[in-house]
Structure 1
Amino acid sequence: MTDLYSRHRQVLPDWLALYYDEPIEITHGEGRHVWDSAGNKYLDFFGGILTTMTAHALPEVTKALGEQAGRIIHSSTLYLNRPMVELAERIAQLSGIPDARVFFTTSGTEANDTALLLATAYRRSNTILAMRNSYHGRSFSTVGITGNRSWSPTSLSPLQTLYVHGGVRTRGPFAELDDRAFIAACVADLKDILGHTRPPAALIAEPVQGVGGFTSPPDGLYAAFREVLKEHGILWIADEVQTGWGRTGEHFWGWQAHAQGGPPDIVTFAKGIGNGTSVGGVIARAEIMNCLDANSISTFGGTQVTMAAGLANLAYLLEHDLQGNARRVGGMLIERLRTVAAQLPGVREVRGRGLMIGVELVRPGTDEADPRSASAVLETAREGGLLIGKGGGHNTSALRIAPPLSLTVAEAEEGAAILERALRSAY
């Protein structure tokens, strides 16, 4: 592995982050487990950054991929594409957006980039409202609306971005308020911003902030925002790249926790729908999607082989009620981790919904982020046979837990036990 790491450093960017003091090469997987090149087996609680949504090497998906690859892999959007139409039909129906249109991309970054293009063209404004602590991708436009310093390498942007309070419930100036007062204060903040600027094109928001450490506002915040936005004709973009497809357990889409007033104007998605293949996309009302007055195509978005994977994966997810499994097993896992956290002075909070769980670490006796201990727990968990992720706002001090949605109760218990030992070793 040292040789591969050396080769990696020679030809890839320094800013391309790798986990672990001694990075690992994952060579294969099955179900909720993966193996590295040294033969070590791991329980996977991160799923390729929430991307392996159902399971590794899911037979239904690998079969669909193979069969489609044997016919044709790619032709571009210049030709009719049956798998793309079929998946778009299913997604449009599931979206809750009336008269929905779907455009496929290859990633969440590209999906959000497209949503910004649509919103700014439709509204003829380059001003965007975004949430503090947010993350929306790594393209030039999406880092410009990312409210997380660790993931936004430049202040240059084609957009004017205004950041709104509300994405983090337990930190910031409104943290001590109850839910009702918290929402009211965030709405007042939004109204104040709108009183000082020309009308923005859209508010883009993750229902649960992914890279930000799986933080979320009280249910109903974005519904309250929506009422204000409607008064000004401002669009609502729900970034469902990490929250979509039932991961939160309670709902199929994260925005449904804020459903009063109807669905968003635009929804972006990616990650889990392809179960590891490169599928992203945008859902919008027809009048918004069709507002562009120039030609456009996508060379690789919606390619046949990834659409076949998406169709098979979505069918499996729905037929096996993985949303319900995320709710049941995720709820049990959250309570198990909260029991552990109550005994450890360095665990500030265990939060999340379904199989999207954050464990925030702080220096004992303080409210200060503890990124060093977060890194140590990540290392110790790997040594114990568990892969997890990291995230967070001011400092990367939140552990991110997001296993495939087919996780069993026994696997959840096993992972929780490994994580408990890792946390106890740090505190």
Structure 2
Amino acid sequence: MTDADLVARHKAVLPSWMALYYDEPIEIVHAQDRRVVDSEGRSYLDFFAGILTNAMGYDVAEISDAVRKQLDTGILHTSTLYLIRSQVELAERIAKLSNIPDAKVFFTNSGSEANDTALMLASQYRRSNQVLALRNSYHGRSFATVGITGNRGWSTSALSPLKVSYVHGGYRYRSPFRDLSDAAYIDACVADLVDVLQTGTSGDVACMIAEPIQGVGGFSSPPDGLFAAMKEVLDSYGILFISDEVQTGWGRTGEHFWGIDAHGVTPDAMTFAKGLGNGLAVGGLVARGDLMDCFTASSISTFGGNPVSMAGATAVLDYIADHDLQANTAARGAELLTGLRALSNPLIGEVRGKGLMIGVELIEPGGTTPNVRAAARMMEETKARGLLIGKGGLHGNVVRIAPPMTLTADETREGLAILTDALEATHTALA
């Protein structure tokens, strides 16, 4: 059976809104380290890591061995109605790593479920359904998280159990405040927050939720310190602050273990997922104990915190620490950012990011108009040269680069060369 046959079957039985990358979609059938192989035997260097999820790469012995050891017990699932030692031990580690006072942890299966739970906790704790979110944000595909997503391309319903107000800050490149200094930009965004609170809410808002670096939004981020300044305002109202670390957690930004640490502030809750499982379904949130314990009814996640996922996630945390992957991420990310920023290709409007979260905003030459065609062409040009990347942004014109955190220096140079060549080919093709 060819990939074309599989595409036809995919379209026949799966939703039309489940997008597939590439004019000729590929099936990945084998992987090792940072490389994947498709069903036709073509090899690719992976610079998107299953949307940042395969953060350690592929076929990592330490992680696979931990999962096999759990499988050998015969126990894939017991439910949280019974004690799960690995769940307790992992929760203890994450609570300590969070730096949140008296922290407690609840495990889920995905970032969407984690964010949905955080919103439910905040609205219960504050007895309010009002939420603040950032423009250009994305927080998942559950009913509640779609309702607070500030990106029309991913907001699939106008209905919501929450009342959301959007504030400036996350996406600077097209912001009306873009030409301000960092300090002035922060002041303007904080003033906007105050204005929104005074004009668009009744004041008793449940929470503000924010990604330190907007993932689907094209790896955009504000100047360091914005969220500390915003939290001063939130604290004056008693509003909770939730940091969505689904993409930025576990050292992915290089400079810090959590993305929010760059802002010098401790949130009331953080949500996490993706890289912690390295392909296993793991998500969750860590929050102040009084916030986590505010539910008055019983609640569980049937598969959240299951023994297999806990074994794999524990091995991932060990691997990050044992191999100093946060430092490796910082070094490899700096090399990619430096190389990309040195390019003079007229399609490039901005190269931004931290660590191994890099966005290249593509524009029409001579202006700032989003160049959606260029992003689509870049996908095809990099694929043809053996490199997998992602795309996103409010307009779908941002190339997203997020390799596994185990990326080597040689692979960094290889990927950068392909990106450079593909950008030149894209400019030539569209000129």
TM-score range, shorter chain: over 0.9
Deviation at 1:65, TM superposition (A): 0.8
Q: Find the counterpart in structure 2 of residue 418 from structure 1.
A: 418
Secondary structure (helix, strand or coil) at the match of 2:353 reads: strand
Q: Find the counterpart in structure 2 of residue 31 from structure 1.
A: 33
The CA deviation string for residues 340-368 of structure 1, in whole angstroms up to 9 with x for no partner, is 2xx11110011000011000000111211
User: Does structure 1 residue 21 correspond to structure 2 residue 26?
Assistant: no
The CA deviation string for residues 358-398 of structure 1, in whole angstroms up to 9 with x for no partner, is 000001112110111101011110110000000101x1000
Deviation at 1:236, TM superposition (A): 0.3
Paired residue for 2:263, among 249, 253, 258?
258
Partners of 1:241 and 1:306 in 2: CA distance: 16
Q: Find the counterpart in structure 2 of residue 388 from structure 1.
A: 389
Q: TM-score, normalised by structure 1?
A: 0.98
Q: Find the counterpart in structure 2 of residue 297 from structure 1.
A: 300
Partners of 1:174 and 1:333 in 2: CA distance: 27
Partners of 1:193 and 1:5 in 2: CA distance: 46
User: Does structure 1 residue 373 correspond to structure 2 residue 378?
Assistant: no
Partners of 1:349 and 1:82 in 2: CA distance: 47
Unaligned 5+ segments in structure 2 are: none
Q: Find the counterpart in structure 2 of residue 248 from structure 1.
A: 253
Secondary structure (helix, strand or coil) at the match of 1:381 reads: helix
Partners of 1:110 and 1:297 in 2: CA distance: 12
Look up the equivalent residue of 1:50 and give its one-letter code.
L
Paired residues for 1:8-407 under 5 Å = 8-71=10-73, 72-196=75-199, 197-198=201-202, 199-259=204-264, 262-340=265-343, 343-393=344-394, 395-407=395-407
Deviation at 1:69, TM superposition (A): 1.1
The CA deviation string for residues 108-151 of structure 1, in whole angstroms up to 9 with x for no partner, is 00000000000000000000000000000011110100000100
Partners of 1:211 and 1:421 in 2: CA distance: 25
Deviation at 1:329, TM superposition (A): 1.0
Look up the equivalent residue of 2:426 and give its one-letter code.
A
Partners of 1:336 and 1:180 in 2: CA distance: 28
Partners of 1:412 and 1:125 in 2: CA distance: 47
Look up the equivalent residue of 1:86 and give its one-letter code.
E
The CA deviation string for residues 236-262 of structure 1, in whole angstroms up to 9 with x for no partner, is 000000000000001000000111xx4
Partners of 2:268 and 2:122 in 1: CA distance: 9
Look up the equivalent residue of 1:67 and give its one-letter code.
K
Partners of 1:169 and 1:236 in 2: CA distance: 21
Q: Percent identity?
A: 59
Secondary structure (helix, strand or coil) at the match of 1:195 reads: helix
Deviation at 1:297, TM superposition (A): 1.2
Deviation at 1:210, TM superposition (A): 0.2
Secondary structure (helix, strand or coil) at the match of 2:399 reads: strand
Q: Provide the alpha-carbon RMSD of the alignment.
A: 0.7
The CA deviation string for residues 61-85 of structure 1, in whole angstroms up to 9 with x for no partner, is 1111111011111111111001111
Unaligned 5+ segments in structure 1 are: none
Partners of 1:77 and 1:131 in 2: CA distance: 34
Partners of 2:41 and 2:67 in 1: CA distance: 26
Q: TM-score, normalised by structure 2?
A: 0.97
Look up the equivalent residue of 2:338 and give its one-letter code.
E
Look up the equivalent residue of 1:359 and give its one-letter code.
V
Secondary structure (helix, strand or coil) at the match of 1:345 reads: coil
Look up the equivalent residue of 1:206 and give its one-letter code.
E
Partners of 1:157 and 1:298 in 2: CA distance: 22
The number of aligned residues is: 422
Secondary structure (helix, strand or coil) at the match of 1:237 reads: strand
Deviation at 1:170, TM superposition (A): 2.1
Partners of 1:67 and 1:10 in 2: CA distance: 39
Partners of 1:311 and 1:377 in 2: CA distance: 36
Partners of 1:52 and 1:86 in 2: CA distance: 23
Partners of 2:97 and 2:166 in 1: CA distance: 30
The CA deviation string for residues 269-328 of structure 1, in whole angstroms up to 9 with x for no partner, is 000000010000010010000000001111100000010000001100011110000101
Look up the equivalent residue of 2:216 and give its one-letter code.
V
Secondary structure (helix, strand or coil) at the match of 2:169 reads: coil
Partners of 1:55 and 1:48 in 2: CA distance: 10
Question: Which moved further from structure 2: 196-205 or 125-134?
Answer: 196-205
